């Protein structure tokens, strides 16, 4: 990797994450790239806005400039969180996605449903994305699963205010699998902590407990 290559990253203002790279020279003369204040997600970077407990829902729209797919949610969401996995849709330049769940009977596609397609029909969550802009509008679980009956949604696709604020950060270490330098993880976790989000490398303890309880009831280790 040449110096020219590295400096082209640093002066390129369009590369949000990479523009925060800094260089230092190690003892053996090699350059080291380190990350400074990476963009986690636009709705987390500058602190979290609290939701409104009496908020009753709103509309999500894809990022097309015309004929947007529209999804209507008839209640607020729950378990809203940021996620580092490779499957959740995230906005350009963000390290993490922002994802929540809502009972599936509270969700309806209210415009341009013909533009939706399932991203990966073999996945546990069937993610419905806009064929034109690639935005994920909702994810649904059809098979027998602890979260069956809940749909996964991104409330940042709504222009309404009052959605539940993010509660925690899930699958944080998974950003390394997508190419994030492991040396930057301490900074990512401390930035999450500074805005009040606990970092986990699975889901939060209450959700992991819910999955384990469902599994134990299925196997007969706990009464159903």
**Kind and range of the H or E run holding 61:** strand 58-61
Q: How far is CA 219 from the centre of its chain?
A: 31
Total residues in contact with Zn ion, by rule CB under 5 A:
8
- Dist. CA 220–CA 224, nearest whole Å: 7
According to the binding rule CB under 5 A, does residue 70 interact with Zn ion?
no
Beta bridge partners of 31: 25
Q: Rounded to the nearest whole angstrom, what is the least distance from the CB of residue 44 to Zn ion in the complex? A: 14
According to the binding rule CB under 5 A, does residue 132 interact with Zn ion?
yes
According to the binding rule CB under 5 A, does residue 129 interact with Zn ion?
no
Is 88 considered catalytic here?
yes
- The sign one gets for the Cα dihedral 147, 148, 150, 153 is positive
Candidates 88, 94, 96, 169; binder of Zn ion (CB under 5 A) is 88
Which one, 154 or 191, has the nearer CB to Zn ion? Answer: 154
Which one, 131 or 221, has the nearer CB to Zn ion? Answer: 131
Candidates 83, 96, 175, 192; binder of Zn ion (CB under 5 A) is 83
According to the binding rule CB under 5 A, does residue 109 interact with Zn ion?
no
According to the binding rule CB under 5 A, does residue 64 interact with Zn ion?
yes
- The residue from 3, 64, 88, 133 that is catalytic is 88
Cβ neighbours, 10 Å, residue 102: 23
Is 3 considered catalytic here?
no
Cβ neighbours, 10 Å, residue 65: 7
| C-alpha R_g of the chain | 20
According to the binding rule CB under 5 A, does residue 124 interact with Zn ion?
no
Only segment of 25-33, 63-71, 138-146, 148-156 that touches Zn ion (CB under 5 A): 63-71
Q: Rounded to the nearest whole angstrom, what is the least distance from the CB of residue 41 to Zn ion in the complex? A: 12
Three-state SS for 96-144 is CEEEEEEEHHHEEEEECHHHEEECCCCCCEEEEEECCCCCEEEEEECCC
According to the binding rule CB under 5 A, does residue 169 interact with Zn ion?
no
The three-class DSSP label of residue 76 is coil
Is 85 considered catalytic here?
yes
Interface contacts to Zn ion, rule CB under 5 A: 62, 64, 83, 85, 88, 130, 132-133
Please give the positions annotated as active site. 83, 85, 88
């Amino acid at each position: 990797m040449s110096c020219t290559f590295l400096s082209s990253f640093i002066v390129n203002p369009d590369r949000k994450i990479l523009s925060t790279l800094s260089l230092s020279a190690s003892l053996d003369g090699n350059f080291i790239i380190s990350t400074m204040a990476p963009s986690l997600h636009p709705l987390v970077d500058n602190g979290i806005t609290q939701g409104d407990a009496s908020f009753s829902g709103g509309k999500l729209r894809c990022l097309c400039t015309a004929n947007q797919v529209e999804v209507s949610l008839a209640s607020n969401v729950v378990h809203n969180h940021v996620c580092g996995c490779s499957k959740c849709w995230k906005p350009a330049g963000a390290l993490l996605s922002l994802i929540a769940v809502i009972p599936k009977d509270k969700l309806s596609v209210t415009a341009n449903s013909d533009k939706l397609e399932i991203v990966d029909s073999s996945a546990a969550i069937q993610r419905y994305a806009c064929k034109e802009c690639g935005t994920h509008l909702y994810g649904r679980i059809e098979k027998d699963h602890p979260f069956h009956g809940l749909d996964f949604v991104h409330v940042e696709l709504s222009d309404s205010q009052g959605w539940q604020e993010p509660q925690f950060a899930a699958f944080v270490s998974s950003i390394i699998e997508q190419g994030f330098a492991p040396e930057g993880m301490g900074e990512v976790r401390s930035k999450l902590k500074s805005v009040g989000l606990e970092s986990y490398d699975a889901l939060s303890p209450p959700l992991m407990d819910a999955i384990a309880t469902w599994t134990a009831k299925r196997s007969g280790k706990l009464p159903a």
